[in-house]
Amino acid sequence: MKKLFLLILIFNSGIQAFSQKIQIRFVDKFSAPLFGVTVNLRDSLNKSFQLNNFTDTSGRAEFNLKSNSIYLLKASSVGYRPFGAVINTSDKGKAYIFTLQDDSQTLSSVTVSAKKPLMTQEDDKTIVDPEPLAGMSTNAFELIEKTPGLFVDQDGNVYLNSSSPARIYINGREQKLGPSDIASILKSLPPNSIEKIEIIRTPSASMDASSSGGAVNVVLKKGVKLGRTGTVNAGFNQGRFGNQFVGINLNRSLETRSSYLNLNFNHRKSFDESAFERVLGTENRNLNTDSYSIFPAYSIFSGFGANFDLSKKLEVGYDGRLSFNDNQSRIENNSEVVNSVSFAEKFSQNTNQVENNTQNYNINQGVNAKYKFDEKGSELRFDASLDYFETNGGQGYNTNFVIPTAISFSGAGDWLNSRTLFASMLDFKYLFPKKLTLESGLKTSIQNFDSKTEYTITRNGITAKDAFRTNAFDYFENINAAYAQMSKSFGKYVLKTGARLENTVMKGRQTVPSDTTFSINRTDLFPYIFFSRKLFKIASYDLRGYLIARRTISRPVYEYLNPFPRFVDQYIYEAGNPSLRPQFTNNIEANISFDERPIFAIGRNYVKDIFTSVVLQDKSDARVSYRTYQNLGKNTETYFRLLGAVPPGKKYFFVVGTMFMFNDYEGQLDNKPITFSKGTWSFFTFHQLKIDANSSVYLNGFFRTNGQQQFYELSNFGDLDLSINRQFFNKKLVVTAQMRDLFYSYNYSFTLNQGNINATGFRRSDSRRFGINIRYNFGQKKKNEGFDMFNVEGMDSK
């Protein structure tokens, strides 16, 4: 047996001695790598001998060929003309790089389907393919929650690598809304309407400077040129309460135009349960509050648009979105003030019921155009959008005391908020010879926000105006920006540098209950630098390093500025702070990617005038506290990320990663110095196991240890989700069964030691759910469709 093994080894070594490894790379007319090109090689002397392969994400295909031989090459890819060439292996050291030309007609035969990586690195952006996550989600908000490396808190904020939340963009347009309003929009979007998610931790000068926490851009699918196609999807998930959804997506494309229509209905219901124990300023007294809330809601969403190729150089498009959300909440609080030594002694006891009913609708209309100067990628882009968001709501509450005396009072209120945002931008990009690229642009945005709130209070059967909660507030914002940046490649090196100039005008006026105003008019410069270098190769794949630095700003949104008190219960209320100043961040990050997949990053944020949520004690009543926002001082955030994965295309694929963040605060709160340091670990993972050609199992989750959120110290908590995906009827019907929060671990206890507030508590919600999603694909696809970039089921011959 040993001799046979030795003979095989010697024979194989002999073959290797007379063969050589050949790399062939395919690019498009812009020199961008082409993924998934089918490559066929035939021996010119023995045409029965042939080799097949597919290009990877860098556009490369690799073969072991005999030395001093001639091979006939054929290559094909959807949307490109068939290509042929001769490969002569006697040409030592020759680099084989071929350019495929665009063609409206491609191969008529269907070849293979290949899997896209879940995450790829593209300069300063991480691109997430949402397809593996869409079957596990009922809306876009859940899909973002499942994206590895993103953390979404229970208030709807999305965090990347900073204690500041990321800015949310949809189709490259910033959503200037508060977290609850953005969450409502994302929950109305069907998950399969998303083409990709762009994670930009340190945005370039071409993006808004108001992104100190990074940016998440949700790119929606438009008229993808696949003929006449459509998708019907429906599903439910059940916890203590249930969610249901149904939707349809339609696409139609011709040679020079395409259109799409998305319709979706979503019904949701969940609960939130919390407990809060606070030490009062008075001696030996604690305030204990238990709260239970139910949140029924439904939403209707429609998205529609069209794209037109007016010529080979000019493209224009229109996109529109309409959404309506009806959100309700029923909250019951039980509160008591007790002796902290002898809990049997009660100084006060009451119940409180609150009912909220809010309807909001959003209308977004946008037009865009792109003019191509040449085939290298030089272009001029224009985008303009008009966004209207209105919220109309009402609240009723009733408070009943039993200790020290039986007394009750109630109140009611109505509010109307409206926001109008107009934004337009013009971006210019030109590619010069010798790999020099110039980018510049202009942008303007104008936002108007009006808020009117009227409350009444009823005591002893007498109803009167509640002057404390009645409020009227107007807000105006105008931001004008200009940027310029240039990039240059020097062999293995890429350097991009630029700057963005922004003028900010903010005006706020409260007319009720008193006439107060604030005004900001300032101009700031935000420099940016990006440096990239090929480090070395591992098994023919590039290991590339990046160094990125930028200055950014965080402007308070209108929710943080609006001073009107929002009633929670008789012991706590919420109010904005119209005197908030902008927050500035200087970020520097170094990271490494392997084959365009991010694997490691280390960075630091220097934050000045940081504003965050704080809880303060009411000066007139020690039992009452209120949540607001304040500028506290400065914070230094140091972090690193580590990511590892098994490459896609096999039966088993996984991504696993970790992030550590260390915060060092220094400032003042309630006229007292505040300093603290805290480190937090986060772990996240995503797994896919392909059982057979039609079935897959997915597992994803995260875990955080000793978390820090603003000034709240959180206990360990996490989430683990499991789903099984099965395809039927020639892969047209997809059925997914899923289980969210398997171990019911997405709940936590917290501690708050801040100024005069010393409190502990816990929070949990309706996070553990079982559900089933059904999706059916229909329609007539183009006959020349050969390569499905969105098939995540591995590399199977059709």
Look at residue 637 in the predicted model and tell me its pLDDT: 92
Specify whether domain 119-797 bears CATH 2.40.170.20: yes
Is the predicted pLDDT of residue 722 greater than 90, yes or no?
yes
Is the predicted pLDDT of residue 149 greater than 80, yes or no?
no
> Do 757 and 735 meet the contact criterion of CB atoms below 8 Å apart?
no
Q: What are the domain boundaries of the chain?
A: 2-107, 119-797
**CA distance linking residue 618 with residue 347, whole number of Å:** 19
Look at residue 182 in the predicted model and tell me its pLDDT: 80
**CA distance linking residue 213 with residue 150, whole number of Å:** 12
**Lowest mean pLDDT across 145-149, 260-264, 552-556:** 145-149
Question: What is the second-level CATH architecture of the domain 2-107?
Answer: Sandwich (2.60)
Alpha carbon distances (Å) from 174 to 65, 144, 168, 411, 541: 52, 16, 6, 37, 36
> Do 99 and 27 meet the contact criterion of CB atoms below 8 Å apart?
yes
Give the helix/strand (H/E) hosting 187: helix 179-188
Q: How confident is the model at residue 708 (pLDDT cuts 50, 70, 90)?
A: confident
**CA distance linking residue 522 with residue 678, whole number of Å:** 34
Look at residue 345 in the predicted model and tell me its pLDDT: 84
Amino acid at 642: L
**CA distance linking residue 63 with residue 71, whole number of Å:** 11
> Do 264 and 190 meet the contact criterion of CB atoms below 8 Å apart?
yes
278, two tokens: 């606070």
Per-residue pLDDT tens digits for 450-474: 989 999 999 988 999 988 888 888 9
Spatial neighbors of 215 by CB under 8 A, at least 6 apart, are 166, 167, 168, 169, 198, 199, 200, 203, 207, 208
418, two tokens: 């409206």
Q: How confident is the model at residue 115 (pLDDT cuts 50, 70, 90)?
A: low
Per-residue pLDDT tens digits for 349-378: 999 999 999 999 999 999 999 999 987 789
Is the predicted pLDDT of residue 729 greater than 80, yes or no?
yes
Q: What is the pTM of this model?
A: 0.74
Is the predicted pLDDT of residue 517 greater than 50, yes or no?
yes
Per-residue pLDDT tens digits for 504-515: 998 888 888 877
Place of tokens 């990628």: 377
Is the predicted pLDDT of residue 558 greater than 80, yes or no?
no
**CA distance linking residue 412 with residue 356, whole number of Å:** 10
Q: How confident is the model at residue 530 (pLDDT cuts 50, 70, 90)?
A: very high
Distance of CA 615 to the CA centre of its chain: 28
Is the predicted pLDDT of residue 582 greater than 70, yes or no?
yes
